[in-house]
């Protein structure tokens, strides 16, 4: 029986990972530690809430006593850290929250794992233990028109969010270099799929378009992102946990580069056809003032993880976006429960004050 401590497991990627693992493996136990901030949603995990292999614990990764007690009680073999503040706009408004969770929280988890797994007398680590820090390609900063981010690309974060994630990654690497802790770091491109909180581009546009609300696009909308279907990301994390080399970084990319405005137009087209609603059209798009420090292009080279571990993205964007739109259409109640809450205040704060570009 392998025991996982998954932090942030009620969030978008974390909950998808919990469901992915419990569906594929019978002999595992997952302890899900989540603070349940605005983006943590236990509805995501309703399918497994009564599964004896799954345990939920409400708490903060910055809490030293709690994290230490979980490691003592459950003695997890693997720690997967998804917990973190993840939205650039929020980081611009409140950098301190990102410092606390994405840096201090990571250091606390690393230190508590070190206390539990390292024998101070022999200097040896317990067999079979591993810590995975889940990161983002945004730590690399702006990418030009050509080329891709590799694991050796220098870190150059441009927002408080990406700076905090880069700091967490560097602490994870430092624990490997200093203590030989069995740590791996993954850096993924933009994820999309079920359960994504509707402050992010794809669920935001799906929700607004079906209600005939305006579709706010930053600047000219020509920012390019590499889109990765969340289930492909979960598969990659599973493989890194099993076979990744300690101390290594693995980039996880979908090879699905698209501009933001292309994404929006695709959602409009698919929803108009699926709902037979001509009011869902390009006239809903408004171009608003760009966010500060908005990187123009990201693109990941996943050659290393393909060559070393055999991972590759199985889901094309054309397939994944249809799956995603269908999920949101089939789960109206989930979306309603989310947008009726704190999200709506946040949405107004983010977009109501931005001037439409003429």
Residues marked as catalytic: 137-138, 161
The pairing of strands 2-7 and 28-34 is parallel
Asked if residue 64 lies in contact with residue 107, where contact means CB atoms within 8 angstroms, the answer is: no
DSSP 175: H
According to DSSP, the residues that pair with 118 across neighbouring strands are 125
DSSP 356: B
According to DSSP, the residues that pair with 285 across neighbouring strands are 215
Sequence-separated (6 or more) residues with CB below 8 Å from residue 300: 137, 148, 149, 187, 188, 189, 226, 251, 252, 253, 254, 255
Both tokens assigned to 276: 């037979």
Identify each DSSP E strand in the chain by its residue range: 2-7, 28-34, 54-58, 78-81, 130-136, 183-188, 190-192, 215-218, 224-229, 249-252, 257-259, 285-288
């Amino acid at each position: 029986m392998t025991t996982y401590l998954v932090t942030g497991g009620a969030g978008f990627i974390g909950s998808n990972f919990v469901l992915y693992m419990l569906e594929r493996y019978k002999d595992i136990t997952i302890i899900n530690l989540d603070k349940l901030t605005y983006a943590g949603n236990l509805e995501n995990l309703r399918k497994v809430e009564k599964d004896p292999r799954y345990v939920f614990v409400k708490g903060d990764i910055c809490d030293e006593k709690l994290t230490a007690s979980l490691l003592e009680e459950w003695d997890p073999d693997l720690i997967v850290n998804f917990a973190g503040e993840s939205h650039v706009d929020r980081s611009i408004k409140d950098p301190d929250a990102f410092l606390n969770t994405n840096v201090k929280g990571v250091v606390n988890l690393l230190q508590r794992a070190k206390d539990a797994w390292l024998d101070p007398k022999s200097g040896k680590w317990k067999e079979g233990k591993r810590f995975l820090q889940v990161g983002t390609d945004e730590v690399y900063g702006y990418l030009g028109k050509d080329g891709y981010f590799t694991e050796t690309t220098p870190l150059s974060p441009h927002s408080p969010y990406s700076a905090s994630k880069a700091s967490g990654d560097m602490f994870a690497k430092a624990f490997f270099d200093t203590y030989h802790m069995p740590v791996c770091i993954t850096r993924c491109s933009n994820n999309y799929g079920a359960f994504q909180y509707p402050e992010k581009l794809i669920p935001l546009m799906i929700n607004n378009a079906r209600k005939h609300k305006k579709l706010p696009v930053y600047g000219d909308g020509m920012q390019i992102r590499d889109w990765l279907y969340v289930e492909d990301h979960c598969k990659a994390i599973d493989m890194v946990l099993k076979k990744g080399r300690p101390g290594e970084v693995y980039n996880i990319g979908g090879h699905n580069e698209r501009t933001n405005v292309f994404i929006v137009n695709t959602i409009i087209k698919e929803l108009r056809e699926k709902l037979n609603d001509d009011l869902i059209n390009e006239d809903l798009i408004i171009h608003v003032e760009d966010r500060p420090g908005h990187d123009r292009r990201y693109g990941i080279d996943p050659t290393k993880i393909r060559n070393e571990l055999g991972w590759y993205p199985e889901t094309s964007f054309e397939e994944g976006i249809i799956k995603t739109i269908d999920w949101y259409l089939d789960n109206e109640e989930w979306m309603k429960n989310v947008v009726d809450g704190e999200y709506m205040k946040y949405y107004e704060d983010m977009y109501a004050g931005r001037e439409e570009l003429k």
